[in-house]
Amino acid sequence: MSTDLAKLQRLQRLERIRAIAKQSALMQAAEAESTLAQLLTLAERTDTLAVSYSGGLHLVNGHDLRVREQFVAGLNGISRAAHRDAAQARTQADQRQQELAASERSRVAAKDRAEACERKLAQSRQVPMIDARRPIGTDLE
């Protein structure tokens, strides 16, 4: 009997630990999603800036044209780097989501085992009735 109770307590502790691990995985997944969103916003903004600066601005001489082209090339470089970083962040965010799903499955499995052990313990504690008579009256009495 005491071994079943100890097993139940261990399973309940395991469930709590797995719930904490799930919370940690949830935080990491949220951070990865936030990083991804920021990088996508940066890539979009630099694309927009590069397009707006490469448009028909009134240039006075060749030097202005060269300066503008260098500036646009720098913006395009930043944009490519942001897109590359966003692709890596997307991969990491997907991985964190998979880790979150795995930790949730692990927590649910521990919870199910603890509930099964608890039911088994409750069944073993029930005392069988010697004389199974039908009750008389109602529950309100």
Print the domain residue range for 91. Answer: 2-124
pTM of the model: 0.69
Q: Which residues contact 44 (CB under 8 A, 6 or more apart)?
A: none
User: How many structural domains does the chain have?
Assistant: 1
Residues 72-131: tens digit of each pLDDT: 899 999 999 999 999 999 999 999 999 999 999 999 999 999 999 888 888 887 755 555
Q: Is residue 63 part of a domain?
A: yes
Q: Is residue 129 part of a domain?
A: no
Give the residue-averaged pLDDT of 13-41: 93
Q: Is residue 134 part of a domain?
A: no
Q: Which residues contact 14 (CB under 8 A, 6 or more apart)?
A: 110, 114
Q: Is residue 132 part of a domain?
A: no
